[in-house]
Structure formats: structure tokens, C-alpha cells
Structure 1
Amino acid sequence: MKVLIKLFATFRNERFKQEEKDLPPGTTIRQVVAQLEIAEEALGMVMLNGRHTPLDQELSEGDTLSLFPLVGGG
């Protein structure tokens, strides 16, 4: 199944801005995060098709997954 993955801010460093991936059915967001070597603790917001979603959500054909890092500052 084809899924569009969008990365934001520091997650783009040495990766990509957006990329369409061909994933096996039943793939979860957690598995995609692990494949991208992103630490779960670094995730600030996870959105699937524009809505907040848990990491254990399975992806479907045509989904758009957006991953945002935690925002720091002071």
C-alpha cells in the first residue's frame, strides 16, 4: 500500500521532506517511526490525514502521515 510520509523541522535532517512509501498491509505508525530511526521520545505530534492519532494506528492505502518533533525553547 502507498502512504505519503511528511517530516517536519529537525526530522528532515538527512532524511526527506515528504516521500511516498510502499508499505505492507498492517503497518503501524510505530513501525514507520522505527524504520526512520526516530526516537519515540522525540515525537511532538503525530497526525494521520490531518488528525492526531496514536502510534499503534495501522496505516491504510492513500494515508498521509505527518511527524513533528518536540518544540523546545525558552
Structure 2
Amino acid sequence: MEVEVKLFGDLREGRFEQEKAQLEDNSRVIDIIKKCNLPLEHVAVCFVNNREAEFGQVLENGDRVAFSPPVGGM
């Protein structure tokens, strides 16, 4: 299956902003994190189809997945 992956903030450094990823059926959000070599402690929030999601959520073909790092200072 194919999903769209978008990275925000510091997660883009040395990687990409947006790209399509090929995954096996029944893959989970955590599988994308591993595939993109994102340090788990650097992923503060993830979204699937614009809704906040857990790392264990099962993905479907065509899903849009986004990852955001922790945001500091306010």
C-alpha cells in the first residue's frame, strides 16, 4: 500500500518535507517512523488524515500521515 508522509519542523532536517511511502498491508504508524529513521523521542505528535493518532494505529492505502517534533517556548 502507499501512504503520503509529511514531516514538520526539525524532523525535516536531512530528510524530506513530503513524500510517498510504500508499506506492507496492516502497517502501523510506528512502521513509518522506523522506515524514515525518525528518533522516537523526536516525534511528539502524529496525525493520520488530519486527526491525532497513536503510534500503533493501523494504516490504510492512501492515508496521509504527518509527524511533528516537540515545540518549545511560549
Q: What TM-score do the two structures reach when normalised by structure 1?
A: 0.92
List runs of 5+ in structure 1 lacking aligned partners.
none
In the alignment, which residue of structure 2 is the partner of 1:8? 8
Structure 1 stretches of at least 4 aligned residues deviating more than 6 Å after TM superposition: none
Q: By how many angstroms is 1:48 displaced?
A: 0.3
- 8 Å CA contact 2:46–2:52 kept in 1: the answer is yes
2:28–2:59: 8 Å Cα contact kept in structure 1? yes
State the shift of 1:55 in Å: 0.2
Give the root-mean-square deviation of aligned CA atoms: 1.1
Partners of 2:43 and 2:64 in 1: how far apart? 17
8 Å contact from structure 2 (residues 8, 17) kept in 1: yes
CA distance in structure 2 between the partners assigned to 1:20 and 1:4 by the alignment: 4
Q: Which residue is equivalent to 1:59?
A: 59
Q: Structure 2: where are the runs of 5+ without partners?
A: none
1:35 maps to 35
Q: Which residue of 1 aligns with 2:18?
A: 18
TM-score by length of 2: 0.92
Deviation at 1:73, TM superposition (A): 2.9
Q: Deviation of residue 7 (structure 1)?
A: 0.4
Q: Indicate the percent of aligned positions where both proteins have the same amino acid.
A: 30
Count of residues in Structure 1 that have an aligned counterpart in Structure 2: 74
